[in-house]
A and B are shown apart, each in its own frame.
Chain A
Amino acid sequence: MNPTLAAVLSVGLLVAALVVVHRPLGSYLARVYSGTTHLRVERLLYRLSGVDGDGEQRWPAYLRSVLAFSAVSVLLLYGLQRVQHWLPLSLGRQNVAPDMSWNTAASFVTNTNWQSYSGEQVMGHLVQMAGLAVQNFVSAAVGLAVAVALIRGLARSRTDRLGNFWVDLTRGSLRVLLPLAFVAAVVLVGFGAVQNFTHGFDAHTVQGATQHIPGGPVASQESIKELGTNGGGFYNANSAHPFENPTSFTNLFEVFLILLIPFSLPYAFGRMVGDRRQGYAVVAAMAVICLGAVVASGVVEAHHPGAAPTAAGASMEGKETRFGVLASSLFSVGTTMTSTGAVDSWHDSYTALGGGVTLFDMHLGEVTPGGVGSGLYGALVLAVLAVFLAGLMVGRTPEYLGKRIGAREMKLVGLYILVMPATVLVFTGIAVVTKMGTSSILNPGPHGLSEILYAYTSAANNNGSAFGGLSANTMFYNVTTGLSVLIGRFVPIVFVLALAGSLAKQQKVPASAGTMPTHTPLFTVLFVGVILIVAGLTFLPALALGPLAEGLA
């Protein structure tokens, strides 16, 4: 079969699978976060932790809980790495260096999973599963919780309560992520992913050498890494490693896992605000942009412009044979559109424009569909912006789902939108003109700029993938990317929860013929326009000097 046709069909298969599951999963998510009864295990957990599972919180309390939980998570994860040598299952590996530990802890707690370490050389099994993988779960659950709090802000009226963070966190971890991750992990093992607690085994190769085949609890980490849009690989090669991603089926399956919750959450949103069409309008905008990027990436990768790809005859550098060019490019879009950051091929070696697509995907702010939870809350913030711009054009104070968008809401939206570009641009600006920044560059010319821009874009968007040529394990990058991930994660959360609080207080304005409809294709088009223009206008100059300068040469 023609590779293009095969690729189109496999994308069709992916879309079909998502279409089939988004409703039941979305409904389930809505039920999980709307329900009032606790499971027995949850009640036990609340009792052990000393939290009240029944009280609801105002937005500042909700925020304090998010921050407290995340702060404790950073400390615990930092501590685990610093003492891993003395822990069981360490495989004798050394304690992780302080700056690398800090960077890794910040990165995993923020759902970024930027890795300045090489998994198979630095991390022992216990840190991988009890430290990193646990954060894969709970950081995604935090994202879900914040998204749900924002949905509640939109759905509720005249209340200052946004729900209970501890309950949302627990339910997200135990009722949503755990069962899905377990099933997915078993599927991955079924196709060849590794799951053991050993050091691995030594093979005596056909030609008489000794080859060490590593072991580890890989499948269980791999499944939650994709499902929670985390992206931190067990091994350095991430999802390119045959033990993480053994076949082209698991490749598509992992893309499916990456997109599963982000594309189902809008349906839950629609259900929770009492109008499913609202969810469809949001998901349609996400899907349009995401598919657009898949096509764009596929086309440039297949045409493989550029000196090296032309010399090779295909854009195969840094790609695995079993996936080929197109399945890899699909994965690259899936991972950069969702703040996942897992990679099955090296974006640094993509064609300039193909790499540019992955960069631009992240510049959109990780909202199409974005990370678990974070994608939806980011998208809703941008929806509010779209509503504000367009809503004025129908002659009313703009309102979204019956909530008026006034000065306070716009202030929060404006601040939210500022955080990511400010972080990316400031750090990139510093790095490109300092020796500390430029000395880590691997590839010369505009591509070097892309590497640095990619690093901070990835960090501030909590993506975690990299133009891997950049030697990021330096003090400068460990510290600045660590700061970027924290700023990129928690500052926006502050604004999102404040926005949720402000919306929840409002009385709903009943919809009428004078209300701007936010469930129509026209709104979806507008929404797409706002997402593209906001990102495009902010980052076009930078992209012009990076991927465009390289790709149009």
Chain B
Amino acid sequence: MRASLERALRALSSLRLACVLLLFLGLLTWLGTLEQVTSGLYDVQKKYFESFVLVHHAGPIPIPLPGANLVLSLLFVNLLVGGMLRLRKGVATLGVLVAHVGIAVLLVGAFVKHRFSDEGHVTLYEGQRSATFQSYFLWEIAILEDLGSGRVREHLIPNGRLEEALGSGRVRIAPAGLPFDVEVSGFLRNCAPRREGAEANAVDGVVLEERPAHTEAEQNIAGVAIEIVDEKDGMRRKALLWGAESRPLVVTVAGKPWAITLRHEEYPMPFSVALDRFTKEDHPRIDMPKSFASDVTVTENGSSRPVRISMNAPLRSQGFVVYQASWGPSGAGPGTPLYSTLAVVRNPADRLPLAGCIVIAIGLVAHFARKLFRYVRVEGRTA
């Protein structure tokens, strides 16, 4: 038993395993880069870098490969176990040990970002304020309940549940506290509505027609068919939701109106951002912008402060980073109001890459300084 454990630990900590894993990482990066010719960045990232296993098709030949998730997890274990078992501990190897700790910190940071971060954007015209940001890719059904006095309770069906309704999938959602269930089917990642009375799946004379997914996944507009099932009498009402619909579906159940809409997932921020002024400076005599920046007012914990967010100067607060991402509408004529799009990243491990790099730098500096010191001392003696 002990011998088996030792063998397993030796295998896990071996340099051979580290080399194989690094080769796989290189291969995945190469294949993932090539795949972007036909697929978008988002899809490639999911397939090659956020998976445990995948099948790469080299022409008609399917090749099973480990995903970057699996490779990096094994690399982390290899590094940790290798560091504990193989690395000589002492003053001589202290710098290398510290550098390895830094690499482990980088890997932990990547894992935390992958599992626990949210990314999205907030788009504002001057004078608008928002305390939420929207995902670029993920969708949710929001069921809005009127609470009076301009307040609304949003009951949310997240993207994960909608994905279960892809293809022939069907899922019945029972939102807590609502007098009805929502049965979701025919979720389409990219679609457009078409007026067509004759088809069996038409609702109100309209069908959602699937479109090929864009290589830039943020351009996809999702759609879904829902059935609202009244808890009381089991009555069903079919409806379609589309990601670019101009107004929500309004239904009355249990004598109360409910608005239902399909939108990109929204996440709250612990502060609000109000766009006071957006400035864009073009290169002379052409429409290409030279620089653009947003002057915003950030309100958190009851106090407000002015902040200027520009291309290389993001706003950082409470684990959120707000970058200047883009503006629009493109091709806007003189005098047309412009909006500013701010990219928002909530990453609990936001500072870990910096910390990891500092630790690695300290380790390497210590290691090479010691080597240099020894070299100079030996040379001095020789002389």
* B is bound to A: no
